Amino acid sequence: QMQLNERLQLDVDVRAYGDVPRLRASGYVGTESYAEASVRLGWRITEALELSVVGQNLLNDQHAEASEARRTEVPRSAHVGLRWAY
């Protein structure tokens, strides 16, 4: 996390996960190791209003976070947020 100036903040998150082994007896298909990163840029427009841009899972198109056969792949994503404090 970095405070770039009075109104601009940058958050960077980098993480790595190891392999999850396949366990046939219990139905786990396993998953390969992966690394991921997320970035958030927040701009405090006023004391009560903040605009942010976020990118999540930026290093891969998608990845599995579980080893069950019915799992879904977590995709790369981006969103814009607006927070108002009153």
pTM for the whole thing?
Answer: 0.77
Q: Is 48 buried (19+), middle (13-18) or exposed (0-12) by CB count in 10 A?
A: exposed
CB 14, CB 37: distance < 8 Å: yes
Q: How confident is the model at residue 14 (pLDDT cuts 50, 70, 90)?
A: very high
pLDDT tens readout for residues 30-63: 778 889 999 999 999 999 999 999 999 999 888 7
DSSP 76: P
DSSP 44: E
